[in-house]
């Protein structure tokens, strides 16, 4: 069977991938780096908590609830706050600091919810792990199977959506050149709204499944922030497939690198797990700022140029 | 009793105002005047605090020849012993304080130089992401590597003001306020000097500044270093005030976000505005903290979260309705030139 470290790595990589797809999507369509992306996942964590511990239902029933709730929250945030700010001519820096403020608002909301549950229902609502609720199939944990299948099919669905449907093509046009696209009748604002809806939903799904594998509390989501940045930047912040690639690379390197380092240097190395994505982030920005996608593109164009030279 | 409570409240507000003033003015130098959005200013604050946690106790142990003890493992015992000696030895205590502050400034410079590395190469969102990640890393290193400042538990810091005796509480606060105000005035001088105008020139139009022969990269590095030094001093003073350094306290909300909020409320690029903004935000936070216990009786949750919601909304509203802050930036006054 698969070695446990690989399962651990892939579960983490899948979660990071889902979050960084969302991060890249909103960055592409509305040009806002959403620093609250990690905290969106925390909302999902508490949806799972509610569904399993309070309503006593199956864990996987939390996923559709988390998707809808989070998608609505994200849409509301975009429509209510960020678009208003943009209309008032806010600069990029103000938009970034406002996403930090939004992170704070969501975090406070989750904490209030957790406090109320603890006070009224007498259930411990922080630092919980729901691993025991998960099923397992041929020795593989359920979350691993579900997440892997979901991310793979999501890749296919997104590819079909962006290439085969009218709205998907309009979305790509809006990313490429918003002014020209809106001139040709594409509703650029609708495109942004849909992308925020999707971002929230995907983060909700990732968040719903986090408690099945990791110990969770309201801050768990924002701890992932650095990894999300790193994988999105490694992907190049220019295409969703880049984010998927980056998410897998960062997730696997983080988990495996961490295990190798702990084995070589001792248990204290585990504290510095965060330094792995940080190093990759800095190296990417300094050596290949356009990320993996940019790197692949430049290799392709170089090959094309070589062909041209040879033909001459 | 009432009077005592009021004094406590005023003193608390003053000390937090003085400490946060340094951070937000430091940020204002970087963001307001030079246009470098430093989303990781907490790294410098933490650097200053770690330096105090790491240096003061060990140095005092060396001076007083306390041997066979580990500063971190036997922290409480060592600190009590040192404090007892420092209480009768104010010359050594003052020397330790000054030496530590010197070291803190060097650490602040180093951190500013490190954060300038991405700041001169990247811009906007990429810079913000890198600096947030770097600041997280500084915090994680502090929590994980216990020899610096005790790891998760933090360390107690020997008190170089123990010789003040009963007046220690007021003495330290007055000292912190004095340092803060003097630094603020010095920054005002710098900002109104040709160098201050150069900072604004770089912010407003890099190409023009470069075309008239100014070294833009150099200016940006200097601005990052200057801001970082101020933030480090703030972190160090905070550690001295609390007589402890707890690495887990240096989160991006507590230092980066609040500093940004103070700057945005007061007025980006206007130090007087930032001063007013800092005062307002600190006063608001202290009021909430002060009435926390009377609020807690009515609410089924921790009132602390209301503070986050309130101030988060304040920031968003300020940015929608008054993006320049309470006091907008004014042109620099230059002798002999009429501006307006």
User: What are the structural domain ranges in chain A?
Assistant: 4-311
The answer, yes or no, to whether residue B17 has pLDDT greater than 90, is: yes
Element (H, E) at A137: strand A136-137
Nearest CA in chain B to A114: B301
Are residues A229 and B132, on separate chains, in Cβ contact within 8 Å?
yes
ipTM value for the complex: 0.86
Asked if residue A280 lies in contact with residue A234, where contact means CB atoms within 8 angstroms, the answer is: yes
The per-residue pLDDT for A312 is 60
Arithmetic mean of pLDDT, A54-65:
87
Calpha distance A118→A76 (Å, rounded) = 28
> Strands B244-245, B155-156: parallel, antiparallel or unpaired by DSSP?
antiparallel
The answer, yes or no, to whether residue A297 has pLDDT greater than 90, is: no
The answer, yes or no, to whether residue A77 has pLDDT greater than 70, is: yes
The answer, yes or no, to whether residue A69 has pLDDT greater than 90, is: yes
**Which residue has better confidence, B176 or B330?**
B176
Q: Which residues of B touch A230 (CB under 8 A)?
A: 133
The per-residue pLDDT for B339 is 58
Are residues A33 and B129, on separate chains, in Cβ contact within 8 Å?
yes
- Of A214, A290, A93, nearest to B27 by C-alpha is A93
Are residues B312 and A101, on separate chains, in Cβ contact within 8 Å?
yes
Mean pLDDT of chain A: 87
Highest mean pLDDT among A261-265, B23-27, B149-153, B242-246: B23-27
**Which residue has better confidence, A105 or B70?**
A105
pTM: 0.89
Nearest CA in chain B to A277: B133
Arithmetic mean of pLDDT, B226-241:
93
Calpha distance A182→A188 (Å, rounded) = 6
Are residues A108 and B305, on separate chains, in Cβ contact within 8 Å?
yes
Asked if residue A246 lies in contact with residue A230, where contact means CB atoms within 8 angstroms, the answer is: yes
The domain A4-311 having CATH identifier 2.115.10: the answer here is no
The per-residue pLDDT for B3 is 81
Q: What percent of chain A has pLDDT over 90?
A: 32
The per-residue pLDDT for B340 is 55
Sequence-separated (6 or more) residues with CB below 8 Å from residue A152: none
**DSSP letter (8 states) at residue A269:** G
Tens-place pLDDT, residues B99-129: 999 999 999 999 999 999 888 888 788 888 8
The per-residue pLDDT for B338 is 67
- DSSP-assigned letters across all residues of B296-337: HTT-SS-THHHHHHHHHHHHHHHHHH-TT-SS---PPP-TT-
The per-residue pLDDT for B293 is 76
Asked if residue B29 lies in contact with residue B51, where contact means CB atoms within 8 angstroms, the answer is: no
Arithmetic mean of pLDDT, B312-338:
80
Calpha distance A111→B224 (Å, rounded) = 35
Backbone angles phi, psi at B98, to 5 degrees: -65, -45
The per-residue pLDDT for B1 is 56
Between B31, B130, B320, which is nearest A88 by CB?
B320
Sequence-separated (6 or more) residues with CB below 8 Å from residue A252: A9, A10, A13
Q: Which residues of B touch A90 (CB under 8 A)?
A: 319-320, 323
The answer, yes or no, to whether residue B163 has pLDDT greater than 60, is: yes
Arithmetic mean of pLDDT, B154-159:
84
């Amino acid at each position: 069977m698969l070695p446990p470290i690989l399962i651990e790595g892939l579960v983490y990589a899948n979660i990071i991938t889902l979050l960084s797809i969302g991060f890249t999507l909103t960055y592409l369509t509305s040009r806002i780096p959403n620093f609250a992306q990690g905290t969106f996942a925390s909302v999902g964590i508490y949806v799972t908590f509610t569904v399993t511990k309070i309503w006593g239902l199956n864990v996987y029933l939390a996923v559709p609830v988390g998707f809808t709730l989070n998608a609505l929250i994200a849409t509301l945030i975009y429509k209510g706050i960020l678009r208003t700010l943009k209309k008032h001519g806010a600069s990029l820096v103000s938009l970034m600091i406002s996403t930090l403020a939004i992170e704070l608002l969501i975090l406070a909301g989750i904490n209030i919810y957790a406090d109320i549950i603890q006070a009224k229902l007498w259930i411990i609502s922080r630092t919980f792990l729901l691993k025991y609720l998960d099923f397992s199939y041929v020795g593989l944990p359920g979350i691993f199977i579900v997440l892997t299948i979901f991310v793979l099919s999501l890749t296919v669905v997104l590819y079909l959506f962006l290439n085969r449907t009218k709205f998907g093509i309009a979305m790509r046009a809006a990313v490429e050149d918003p002014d020209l696209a809106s001139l040709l009748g594409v509703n650029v604002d609708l495109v942004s709204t849909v992308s925020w809806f999707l971002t929230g939903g995907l983060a909700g799904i990732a968040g719903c499944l986090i408690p099945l594998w990791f110990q969770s509390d309201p801050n768990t989501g924002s701890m992932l922030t650095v990894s999300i940045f790193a994988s999105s930047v490694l992907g190049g912040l220019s295409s969703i497939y880049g984010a998927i690639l980056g998410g897998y690379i960062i997730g696997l390197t983080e988990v495996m690198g961490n295990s190798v380092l702990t084995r070589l240097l001792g248990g204290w190395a585990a504290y510095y797990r965060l330094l792995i994505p940080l190093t990759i982030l800095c190296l990417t920005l300094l050596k290949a700022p356009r990320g993996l996608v940019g790197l692949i593109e430049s290799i392709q164009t170089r090959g094309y140029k070589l062909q041209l030279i040879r033909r001459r | 009793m009432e009077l005592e409570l009021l004094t406590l409240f005023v003193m608390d507000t003053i000390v937090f105002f003085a400490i946060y003033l340094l951070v937000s003015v430091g940020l204002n130098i970087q963001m307001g005047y030079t246009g470098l959005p430093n989303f990781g200013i907490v790294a410098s604050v933490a650097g200053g605090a770690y330096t105090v946690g790491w240096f003061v106790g060990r140095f005092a142990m060396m001076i007083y020849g306390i041997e066979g003890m580990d500063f971190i493992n036997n922290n409480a015992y060592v600190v009590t012993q040192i404090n007892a000696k420092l209480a009768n030895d104010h010359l050594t205590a003052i020397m330790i304080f000054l030496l530590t502050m010197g070291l803190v400034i060097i650490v602040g410079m180093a951190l500013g130089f490190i954060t300038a590395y991405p700041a001169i190469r990247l811009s906007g969102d990429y810079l913000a992401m890198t600096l947030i990640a770097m600041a997280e890393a500084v915090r994680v290193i502090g929590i994980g590597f216990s020899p610096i400042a005790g790891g998760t538990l933090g360390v107690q810091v020997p008190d170089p003001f123990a010789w003040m005796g009963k007046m220690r509480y007021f003495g330290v606060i007055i000292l912190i306020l004095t340092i803060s105000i003097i630094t603020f005035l010095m920054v005002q001088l710098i900002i109104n000097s040709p160098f201050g105008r150069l900072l604004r020139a770089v912010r407003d139009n890099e190409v023009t500044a470069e075309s008239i022969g100014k070294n833009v990269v150099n200016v940006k590095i200097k601005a990052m270093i200057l801001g970082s030094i101020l933030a480090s001093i703030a972190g160090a003073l905070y550690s001295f005030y609390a007589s402890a350094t707890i690495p887990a306290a240096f989160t991006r909300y507590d230092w980066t976000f609040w500093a940004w909020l103070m700057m945005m409320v007061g007025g980006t690029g206007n130090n007087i505005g930032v001063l007013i903004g800092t005062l307002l935000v600190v006063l608001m936070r202290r009021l909430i903290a002060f009435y926390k216990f009377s609020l807690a009786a009515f609410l089924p949750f921790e009132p602390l979260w209301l503070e986050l919601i309130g101030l988060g909304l304040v920031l968003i509203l300020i940015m929608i309705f008054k993006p320049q802050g309470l006091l907008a930036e004014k042109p620099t006054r230059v002798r002999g030139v009429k501006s307006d």
